[in-house]
């Protein structure tokens, strides 16, 4: 009996369609209204702050609470959302990971997964088509740039498109704890806005203390931090110094460094995105970088990607001394042997 062998080739598996940069479902009207509320209300409070501070309604309780919450939430963005979750500039123990995710969410700049997806997309297309918030979006003459600066600073928040989280942050989607914290964003917004009022009221033991703390340490603090963060998108991609060679328009802006916790050393960041310290040159203040150093010393952070002279020196546009945290090729083997 002759056996007949089937030589018909098996059907090829269908080609997997590449993931799109954008979510299939755009922003709805309700989401756009919420964005408008969280942009406009704190901004109005910031505008009202000048005459109020001149006449009444500002006490030491309000100043202290505003500064504490500004640093806590601002470092949550700079240290946590940006350097850790987006770029993996260092590794962290689980309690620190949770703290950074919560603190960044309380800055009210969007859920963790959304923030990270947008920023990774920005780096993929920086100042080119596809960048969600480039000031060069409309051209480079003065009219186009004025329009682009407005878009980069605040207009892009009202874009109907969502960046695809499946494409740009599958690692965080797979991390159940971080995905859960991202989903708790509305609750953390409420905590960020109401906690200063509660503390202020208890501290002064009066409803007036609660009201003024809500105004200064909630509304004004949120608005001020928003505009500092958005300035990295707009100002730091238009003005400032190019101290490292990059393929986009990112620049270093020194007067924003303290307010932004070192984020305005943006030119270095785009030259070496995974570097844990953005102010890599001598004398550049980088609060978030110094805090990472502290966490490393305490054992809460490890595998920190400090500036590396081998990578950075050839990219400098002019010779300047790198800072004290820079790894030098001739000393690093000795340090490792001593460790």
Q: What are the pLDDT digits (tens) for 39-98?
A: 566 666 667 776 766 566 788 999 999 999 999 999 999 999 999 999 999 999 999 999
Tokens standing for 129? Answer: 């088509």
Per-residue confidence (pLDDT) for residue 37, from 0 to 100: 58
How many folded domains does the chain comprise?
1
Are the beta carbons of 107 and 223 closer than 8 angstroms?
no
Q: Which residue has the higher pLDDT, 285 or 53?
A: 285
Decide if 64 is inside a domain: yes
pLDDT category of residue 10 using cuts at 50, 70 and 90? low
Decide if 189 is inside a domain: yes
Decide if 140 is inside a domain: yes
Decide if 161 is inside a domain: yes
Domain span at residue 112 reads 29-238+294-303
Decide if 63 is inside a domain: yes
Decide if 71 is inside a domain: yes
Decide if 279 is inside a domain: no
Decide if 309 is inside a domain: no
- DSSP type of residue 327: B
Are the beta carbons of 264 and 257 closer than 8 angstroms?
yes
């Amino acid at each position: 009996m002759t056996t007949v062998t089937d030589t018909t080739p098996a059907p090829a598996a269908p080609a997997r369609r590449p993931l799109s940069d954008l979510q299939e479902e755009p922003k709805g009207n309700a989401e756009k209204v919420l964005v408008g509320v969280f942009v406009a209300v704190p901004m109005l409070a910031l505008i009202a702050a000048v005459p109020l501070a001149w006449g009444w309604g500002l006490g030491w309780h309000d100043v202290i609470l505003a500064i504490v919450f500004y640093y806590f939430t601002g470092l949550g963005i700079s240290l946590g959302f940006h350097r850790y979750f987006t770029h993996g500039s260092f590794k962290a123990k689980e309690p620190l990971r949770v703290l950074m995710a919560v603190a960044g969410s309380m800055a009210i700049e969007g859920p963790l997964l959304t923030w990270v997806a947008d920023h990774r997309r920005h780096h993929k297309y920086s100042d080119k088509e596809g960048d969600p918030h480039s000031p060069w979006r409309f051209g480079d003459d003065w009219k186009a740039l004025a329009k682009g600066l407005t878009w980069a600073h605040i207009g892009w928040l009202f874009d109907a498109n969502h960046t695809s989280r499946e494409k740009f942050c599958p690692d965080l989607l797979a991390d159940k704890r971080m995905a859960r914290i991202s989903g708790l964003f509305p609750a953390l917004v409420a905590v960020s806005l109401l906690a200063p009022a509660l503390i202020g009221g208890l501290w002064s033991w009066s409803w007036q203390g609660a009201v003024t703390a809500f105004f200064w340490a909630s509304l004004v603090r949120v608005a001020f931090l928003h505009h500092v963060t958005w300035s990295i998108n707009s100002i730091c991609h238009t003005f400032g110094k190019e101290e490292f060679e990059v393929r986009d328009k990112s620049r270093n802006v020194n007067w924003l460094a303290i307010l932004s916790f070192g984020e305005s050393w943006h030119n270095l960041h785009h030259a070496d995105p995974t570097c844990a310290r953005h102010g890599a040159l001598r004398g550049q203040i980088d609060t978030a970088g110094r805090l990472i150093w502290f966490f490393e010393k305490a054992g809460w952070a490890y595998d920190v990607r400090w500036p590396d002279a081998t990578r950075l020196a050839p990219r400098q546009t002019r010779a300047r001394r790198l800072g004290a945290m820079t790894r030098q090729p001739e000393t690093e083997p000795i340090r490792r042997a001593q460790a």
